[in-house]
Structure 1
Amino acid sequence: MHDLLVCRHINPAACPDMSKTAPVADTSRHAFDLVCDTDAQEISSTASRRLRRASEFLAAVQFMVGAGFHPKAGRTTLQLAEVFAERMARSSDGHFPFSAEATARQLGLKRRAVFNHARYLRELGLIAYVEHGSKRNVLRTRYGAAWTSEHGYRGTATLFAAVAPRVWDDAMGHRIEGQGYAGRQVGVTDAGRELAVAAAVERHRVRQGHQPTELVDNSGLCTPSVVVPQPRTSGSVDGELKDRTRERACQEKSPKNRAKGATGWSAARSAAAMQEARWVQLHTWWTQGSCVRQLAYALRPFFEAGWTWEEIGRELARWTVPLRPRHVASYVASEIRRRVNTGALFLPDGLVAPYRQPETSTWDDGQTPHGSRYAAMQAWKARTFRPAAARATAAFEEIRRVLARHAEPRRTRTAPECHVPGAHPENVRLTRAEIDALLEHSHPVVACETLWAQAEEAAEYRIEAQSRLSTWEHLPPAPPEPH
């Protein structure tokens, strides 16, 4: 048992004044010995009960540090407890990991200072070990003989549990059932109820103190964003409405603007298109199983052009789709657009958006955003590399001439004038008399039937000649000559 006045190193500003929050009983009635035995700092052997809420943990830390039960605990111990309280939200059991390096960076302390103040909290019975950290590579244990250097290194973190010593429960008037880590609060005593009421009144007073006490002056003019309500004048007099002027009533009504995303199709027309798309789906194997609504929307260019479902089905059958598309509607819409823009499918203009064709440019004509910059670069090249710049300029001039020649409209060629008298038509150079003279002295033209007959006769003659040359006669062997 220690006296608060002995702990002169504790900053009174850091430690809460328990006399202001609640009439806590004298700490001399509550004996507490520091938990210096490391075996008693485990959750299996600790005398403190489990805490799951960060607010209760911070209240217990403030009481134990403010009461001066540990001669070395102070402001830094409270800051370390606040870091632990933030990490308690990650676990439903009130457990939190402990990393000396990360905590030291967060608080701006040395690793040794973090270790010391964590030990102070353990000795005060406010935290207990759940699992001890280790530098052993857990990945090597997990993979066993299959572990390689590519798996890397991973150590085991230290896990703490937030706990509350029995001295804090007795001071707060908590009725505890059970012993050790498994103990739980089942109620409060009369003194604990008074302390809870006093703490609630103090919290209410603190909240009221932060609220503004001055009344807001609303007597000034309204801001421009505030519109003063005007009395309504929509009542009718003699059957006439008075809520609009005569000029507005007489002016022509502007056409209603179509909402963004609307297509102008009515519900009945969309339903009819879906019915047509259903028939198309039944007669096209790779569209079956897709969404009929999406398919009808993709086929709208055909419906706008007046096609029936039979014509649409025949058109889709010409596409020779080898596999079922992942998204049928998207494929149909993109294929319709591609075929229309390539000229393989003919639909009225305006139904399918055309592809954007970029304008042809040599990038140094000043027509593009980079024209002036490119011209300056070419001028620098001309000053630095004169022969290469001259060749580049000549090449660009040739490209411009070619582009200008292609941009000019093609001239329609006319038949050349014939200077032969009596020639008809214009592309014939011989007169009629010359043609008659050629026909008299030339062989007659053979018709197709006669030509085929002559060819067959020549083929038969050739085959007969070849067979006659290839025939041979078998003669029996001659008898032996007499001696």
Structure 2
Amino acid sequence: MLPKTAPHNNHQPTQTRPHRLGNAAPITHATAQELTHTASRHSGPRRWLKATRWLLSAGIHPRGNATTLRIAEDLATRMDYSTGHVLYCLDGISTRLALSRATVKRHVAVLRELGSLVWVMHGTKANIRRKRGLSGYAGTATVYAAVIPPVYDHAMGHQIVGTGYDARIVIHQQSPARPVDNSLVDDSCSRIGAPPSLTLVKEERKVQMTGGFNYTSRRCASRTKHHPSHSSAPASRTKPAPRSPAQAAREILETRTIRALVNWTQSEPLRRLAFSLRAYFDRGLNAHEIAAELIGLCLTWRPARPAAYIQAHLRREADDATARDSAHAAASDPQSNIAWQEWLEQTRLETPTRTDTDRRLARLYSWDQWSEVADHYAEDPDDALDLYGTRLCVHAIRQASLAEATPRHV
């Protein structure tokens, strides 16, 4: 009679599905649950959750069930997209899923034993706030990393390069098909399998009528259809510059590098992202320069639709450039500035109209005030001539000159 084997000893457990799991051990022991000693490879949240679902449905761990999957889904929603690291947050999981702390601990241990979670940092009672020079108390948090165990790769037939946490899958790609121009052009026939465009383009088809209206009402038949080429929007928004197949292929290769460098763009399909970046390519920027531009756009959040966000940002840049050009044009030509013209009109309305009575009184008052009339003429000749008249201004200037030339006797 064979002795019973504990599920957590150093012996390999009996395989229940040898044709799918091979000879890989499904239970990971305590030493291998650390990031530095794990046999599982690094993964992001999407592929990690897919692999975890398969491992639980395969029944590899005897205590894995639907509750384990719920906890895995909660962890996946909070994982970093590139590193796969996530804060444990025991109380938060317990509150969100309405589970006891003991239940959460038990099922997280199941994920560790499956080889799907490894410790990056163990939580302690050390005051992390004191280390940062802050007041109060906060213990050091537990940090886990998402990993995929070798049993899953063996079952899926994956070819692995390297070992442990830094291992990677080898993907054998077929030669890419000849790239096609996916610009927003109203073709007569749509291509099967063409990537989706960012803007919806409705095809306008003519209805050929040999007699009657052929299921088309008179109102619809007489309606004038608006063609996209007649739009008042800039041409760069409705119809991007067409690309040759070679140019489209180069831009897709550049976009592959950009998507690897900018983490918030990694959820966008490659072709759609390449289409949204065409304005940057037209500026002559390379992959690293475009990546630097995109990293500066989203520092603290991730857009739900990266391609649409990039397109909106480029439209805002175009609108700002148009506004700046209009401002420079207005500054160089004041007469075309509406604000300047309004100010002139307001000044003209606020200036009181001079009457003949005003002129007559001014000439009577200033008949012997030659220096005052001369000073007025020096400051504003046109206004002085209008107010005092030519003869009085000439006489006042002559008298003021004689008075300055005549020496004074004390």
- TM category (shorter chain) comes to 0.3 to 0.5
Higher RCO (CA-CA < 8 Å; seq separation 6+): 2
Q: TM-score, normalised by structure 1?
A: 0.36
